[in-house]
Chains A and B, each alone.
Chain A
């Protein structure tokens, strides 16, 4: 009696082992899915909120900027430099040979309309705001911008020419809504 019970018990255990494994794996899998579903909102709440995203694009009237003047505006919490360039600055920027540049890029690629250069005023080295926007500020050796933190020089197209920064000043996504108004973002 006892022996036969043990035997049938052993047979059953082989069969039940796989069933039980299935239940265990299924339980862990459901638990993992549930935990993931709970963790995602906790992580995602740190991403930009809807009202932050709603401020992610701005419109600027550039017709008031006189030739040779620059303005700084805030976009996504960072400065945007818009410079109404003079004819000599445009000429200088487009005349540079590509092999002189650390981050080769043509001026015609960087400025949709040559008169207006729109760049992010954030040094590509470590994020300082370069000088050169206001009258009388140092513009560096290449007549564009100069970053005082670690001495990066940018030309009148916002390209890196000298100093530790690896890349040109970033051109944000923008478009001309009319001849006077551009939308950034």
Chain B
């Protein structure tokens, strides 16, 4: 059967020895995908494409960047003024980082809403959390490279987080810096690691995809597919849908790159780094703000750091905190309410993180921080016990075709379009 799959003899010769074509055919062409996916399922492929965009523009930027405290800032300005299309590559890379996080955050909340982290997709979800952590480390180190004021003081503050570790904290920070302050050795290693980590992300993304293809995508109903009547081949149905989503995404990215390239940045980062003067008001990039708010909400150095890392670590054990067997929030009336409260909570944390840590902001930040942990540690386990889910449909085809006609409908639908 596999011999007759390809008519081209060269393809057949190669495929017999290296089954790359069979693999692609199976995983990218005929790969059965639930037929009821909505547009929230576009964000996985968008995240993958964002990663490629970041790697490609990053490699080209690295060709003109100098990782030295005396030249880094000027080499970035040279990229902006002198290197051919340098401004375009840098603005795509800068805004691409923000868009990557927007896409990934939507991807994560989609997983939360539709219960994509539940059995048998726990490892798929955990690999995703690993990717998020790697992305955050990569983005942080990338932000240091232009060696502006925000770069320098961001690097100082974030590396100092590790000084909260009892006994060995100071030694670890000195080790991270390669000196007694953020300086040239720090910049050099950050550049090396910023170049390395995207490729680690690629590796974990591949594992993420392997785990995904084991059981296939979850879907808005959160029920398992029960055969061919519930699925469509990935190509052309979802390739074309992903391409449509991509063109919308690229339109937004292009609008940002061409019309508001510095909207999400800080003007202070266009001032060269000065180790003797901290800017009056330093904030991290927007995608770190919720975590930054959690850090500042705890009035204890070690406690704040633990809470911040704990906010991500808690996602690793999420599949075991939410014990409800029902995946999709569509059939969980209480969970759905608390999901939206969590979304608002995260937005509030982000807003508070951008404001000075005083007065009302500090109070709101503390309430929101407590709620974040209450949601995962108390509400979710409690809901699994007390919530009565709405009845689940028999299969994906049932709600659409109202009963047994699923198979005929699935086959007839594409033909009618011809």
In the complex the two chains form, is A41's CB within 8 Å of B84's CB? yes
Q: List, in ascending order, chain B residues with CB within 8 A of A12's CB.
A: 418
Inter-chain contact B418/A13, CB cutoff 8 Å: yes
Given contacts A49-B78, A49-B84, A50-B82, contact A41 B418 (CB under 8 A): no
B118 to chain A, nearest CB (A): 37
Q: In the bound complex, how far is the Cα of B81 from the Cα of A50, in angstroms?
A: 8
CB <8 Å contact, B64 and A49: yes
- Contact yes or no, A45 B83, CB < 8 A: yes
- Given A13-B418, A41-B88, answer yes or no on A46-B63 (Cβ-Cβ < 8 Å): yes
**B78:A44 contact, CB within 8 angstroms:** no
Shortest CB-to-CB span from A34 to chain B, Å, is 8
Q: A100 interface residue, CB < 8 Å from B?
A: no
Q: Contact between A51 and B88 (Cβ–Cβ < 8 Å)?
A: no
How far, in angstroms, from A46 to B390 measured CA to CA in the complex? Answer: 60
Q: A9 vs B414: C-alpha distance in the bound complex, in angstroms? A: 13
B86: chain A residues within 8 A (beta carbon): 45, 49
Residue contact A41 to B82, C-beta cutoff 8 Å: no
* Known A-B contacts A13-B418, A49-B78; A41 and B63 likewise in contact (beta carbons under 8 Å): no
A11 CB to closest chain B CB, in angstroms? 12
A30 and chain B: residue at smallest CB distance: B247
A42 in contact with B78 (CB, 8 Å): no
Could you tell me the distance in whole angstroms from the C-beta of B83 to the nearest C-beta in chain A?
Answer: 5
Residue in contact with B85 in the complex, picked from A16, A45, A51, CB distance below 8 Å: A45
Mask: chain B, 62-101; 1 = CB below 8 Å from A; 0 = not? 0110000000000000100111111011000000000000
C-alpha gap A47/B83 in the complex (Å): 8
**Smallest CB separation, A38 vs chain B (Å):** 9
Q: Given A9-B418, A13-B418, A16-B418, are A45 and B78 also a contact pair (CB < 8 Å)?
A: no
Q: State whether the Cβ of B56 lies closer than 8 Å to any Cβ in chain A.
A: yes
Please state if B418 and A51 are interface contacts (CB–CB under 8 Å): no
What separation, in Å, do the CA atoms of A183 and B135 have in the docked complex?
52
**B171 located at the interface, meaning its Cβ lies under 8 Å from any Cβ of chain A in the complex:** no
A40–B78 Cα distance when bound, in Å, is 19
**How many A-B residue pairs lie within 8 Å, measured between CB atoms?**
40
How far is B88's CA from A44's CA once the two chains are assembled, in angstroms?
12
- With both chains docked as a complex, state the minimum distance between the C-beta of B250 and any C-beta of chain A, in angstroms: 8
Q: Which residues of A contact B89 (CB under 8 A)?
A: 41-42, 45
B60 interfacial by beta-carbon distance below 8 Å: yes
**In contact, B82 and A45 (Cβ under 8 angstroms):** no
Asked if B418 and A45 sit within 8 Å, CB to CB, the answer is no
Q: Check if B56 sits within 8 Å of A45, measured CB to CB.
A: no
| B64 proximity list for chain A (CB < 8 A) | 45, 49
A51 — which chain B residues lie within 8 A by C-beta? 78, 81-82
B88: chain A residues within 8 A (beta carbon) = 41
A117–B418 CA distance with the chains assembled, in angstroms = 77
Within 8 A of B (CB), among A1-54: 9, 12-13, 16, 40-42, 44-47, 49-52
For A52, the chain B residues whose CB sits under 8 A away are: 82
Closest residue to A44 on the B side, CB-wise? B84
**Known contacts A13-B418, A41-B88; A49 and B83 CB within 8 A of each other:** yes
Q: Report Cα–Cα, A46/B83, bound state, in Å.
A: 8
Q: How far is the CA of A9 from the CA of B85 in the complex (A)?
A: 51
- Chain B 238-249 near chain A by CB (<8 Å), digits 1 or 0: 000000000000
Q: Which residues of A contact B63 (CB under 8 A)?
A: 45-46
For window 335-388 of B, CB contacts with A under 8 Å fall at none
CB of B60 within 8 A of CB of A45, answer yes
Alpha-carbon distance between A40 and B60 when the two chains are bound, in angstroms: 12
- Quick one: closest A residue to B61, CB to CB? A45
1/0 contact string of B274-299 vs chain A (CB within 8 Å): 00000000000000000000000000
- Name 10 A/B residue pairs within 8 A (Cβ), A-sorted: A16-B418, A41-B85, A42-B60, A42-B89, A45-B89, A46-B60, A46-B63, A50-B81, A50-B82, A50-B84
New contact pairs (18) apart from A45-B60, A45-B86, CB-CB < 8 Å:
A12-B418, A16-B418, A40-B85, A41-B85, A41-B88, A45-B63, A45-B64, A45-B84, A45-B85, A45-B89, A49-B78, A49-B83, A50-B81, A50-B82, A50-B84, A51-B81, A51-B82, A52-B82
Q: List the 4 shortest-distance A-B pairs measured between CB atoms, nearest first.
A: A41-B85, A50-B82, A49-B82, A51-B82
